[in-house]
Structure 1
């Protein structure tokens, strides 16, 4: 391994949400294992919650070249940073975080533990400003997107969709209209399957404009890292490569890290969840007592917000299905608190018989459990990949941002489950749960088992993600040598 200043010093700067932070922490560990010096730059808010609810400090202490640094996201401590209000982060990042980031780089606050300056930045591409700062200071920047390739490509194509006259929406009755201006998706992508920010009748909407601009900025970076694998998204990746200089598919990152650590004593510690919520592991004991493939796991991630009415529809649908269920209900999942505790007795009794509810679960462990036979999910990309790796079919109820695209691909392209977007009705929920866990389970199981096999192959020696990771390491070393000179 190189010594001293020749060792690349990489800053990793994720989007401050659990999914992106989780993925980039796994990448940080992989790069540390490869001998690089890493500074992980997280927002104060998310770092404090990670330290409180996970073992990340102990886990990364074994890497002498690794350090955590924090930066303000510009929002008050009591800001929810969830639901529709999550998008408020981008304005505060522009006003507060961007100048702070530049100042921290220039002043040496982000130097490595050995005192070396930054030689490469890996930053979430949706932030866009690290590319500007990197270019200004002469530091190479690689974008990372922790969304799927298909959703990235849909975001990338927003300007083309607008120019083709396929946006804005003309109302609710317009939602099933085909969108034909996204290459590779012309035959199945509907208006309702576009990212949620496209659901506006105002083409000047700030969120729409920011995403249209930021995703096109990826071509200005020296490369693009995606948490996916070639056998899953090859056709769409070919379109992305026509626009982006270098694409490194490294996924599934959580499986890749597991494979790299198989012979390490720290395996179990390293695979502990990177959680910003308190994990309740009692659900594993409950799963241990359930029959094979009998439980549907229900979780809507860390950002989704439900109304109380939506909560009730899901609850009735699950109880009425008569299928066993494990449900994650975060403390901040429901918007309306005034009726809290007033749950109908029939639901409480029904849940007592077949259900188990926790505030947060160790999701990778849950999905890998032999008792789990289905996943009712918000279609966040980490959750989707974890379900694919575990060979668990999905019911997709997408809520936000990239999830609408993911859910369409799960149902129509990869045939790994069913899409329930824009519907929250107890009768439909009951039917879909029974279909997924009953008569259609064998059909989905065949597809999910095969895709799980391909995911495993991609991160194994000689697989596409394995080879792309080695290529990334070499490219970072070359970039860093140039930056040092």
Structure 2
């Protein structure tokens, strides 16, 4: 650690797992360079202070409780957070600027999630420097900048996408198919468009944006968004590879028994399966996933977190074929230390929802991906993983057991 530099950075993450992780990783990097770190966070999905004892944590009351919030409607949740958090955020920032003692260390900068629409305005009023952190990729940001154009071109249809329309190439963004467009399948497309419109406005009006990516991966997209945004940018990812720590930012308890289980498996033999912290899988889908894993004949480590599937009794109802495969060569956990799993020599592939953190972590460890995007930027990420960067395959053929088994055992080249 460098000597403390008598300056504080205040970090304000969006209270979702995929947004908390990179923000705390950024905090680790800045702390290693001498800054004192204060994490300002909502009482909803609050991070665990004991995992980062060298940070100061301050909670703001946002009026939300997990039991009252539907994680299946992320745009609505983000809209609600922007409404509920603006005043408490300003109050706490004012308080931090006036408190005696440890928190009187001058605030050098506020760094907030790019999906918060109010933080830069508050910081400007209080004469505090402010930057925003983009927790997704530059390619998806490039797509967000043309979403209104895509709507004008008729890609967002009222009656939804059916038949072959979903498989059409996007003329304005030839790398993508129509079904890859963020929000195109949403029940509230206008809310999704407004959400990304606001994010673009926030970035354009900010003093600068931090990208969790690297030039070698996304140089064309970075060049495009630089032309559109015209703000200073700092490309410093992958954030998780820029520091060394045993701290965890997981909101769920990690089951580390999976590491000792992996120790017993052959080299590059295991497919690791995790669909992130927010996705929901229907009962019919989880049956096909289970039987696809059974039919693949590969060892598998599968994360089945709480609320991934609505039926808590799904495992008891699973076919004997899957239960036998689970007993012989599979392991289920509620949550896993993902970075350690992906770095393990027994892991040969990653079946993922294609969230940006998961994508970066898999690329960093050289683990090929099987992509099953669900919402938001995941369709863009999955398409680039499979068709542009060629570090994985897209589950194009549908979520049925034969297609899954074939994708795992043939296309991913697991020995």
Q: Normalised by the size of structure 2, how large is the TM-score?
A: 0.92
Higher relative contact order (CA 8 A, sep 6+): 1
| Structure 1 unmatched ranges of 5 or more | 259-269, 443-485
Task: State how 1:295-334 maps to structure 2 within 5 Å.
Answer: 295-334=270-309
Alignment correspondent of 2:169? 178
2:343 aligned with 1:368, yes or no?
yes
CA distance in 2, matches of 1:164, 1:158: 10
| Structure 2 unmatched ranges of 5 or more | none
Alignment correspondent of 1:423? 398
Alignment correspondent of 1:34? 33
CA distance in 1, matches of 2:195, 2:396: 24
Task: State how 1:390-401 maps to structure 2 within 5 Å.
Answer: 390-401=365-376
CA distance in 1, matches of 2:325, 2:409: 16
Q: 1:336 to 1:97 in 2, by over 3 A?
A: same
Q: 1:102 to 1:68 in 2, by over 3 A?
A: same
Alignment correspondent of 2:81? 93
Shift of 1:399: 1.0
Alignment correspondent of 2:236? 250
Task: State how 1:142-291 maps to structure 2 within 5 Å.
Answer: 142-168=131-157, 171-173=161-163, 174-181=165-172, 186-195=173-182, 197-200=183-186, 205-244=190-229, 245-258=231-244, 270-291=245-266
Residue in structure 2 matching 1:139, options 93, 111, 128: 128
Residue in structure 1 matching 2:53, options 54, 60, 63: 60
Q: Normalised by the size of structure 1, how large is the TM-score?
A: 0.79
Alignment correspondent of 1:72? 61
CA distance in 1, matches of 2:287, 2:106: 53
Task: State how 1:370-409 maps to structure 2 within 5 Å.
Answer: 370-409=345-384
Q: Could you tell me whether the CA contact under 8 Å between 1:104 and 1:110 is conserved in 2?
A: no
Q: Could you tell me whether the CA contact under 8 Å between 2:44 and 2:64 is conserved in 1?
A: no
CA distance in 2, matches of 1:350, 1:166: 42
CA distance in 2, matches of 1:160, 1:136: 33
Q: 1:110 to 1:123 in 2, by over 3 A?
A: farther
Q: 1:272 to 1:115 in 2, by over 3 A?
A: closer
CA distance in 2, matches of 1:359, 1:156: 36
CA distance in 2, matches of 1:369, 1:107: 45
CA distance in 2, matches of 1:330, 1:283: 14
Alignment correspondent of 1:465? none
| Structure 1 consecutive aligned stretches of length 4 or more whose deviation exceeds 6 Å | none
Shift of 1:375: 0.4
Shift of 1:135: 2.7
Greater per-residue helix proportion: 1
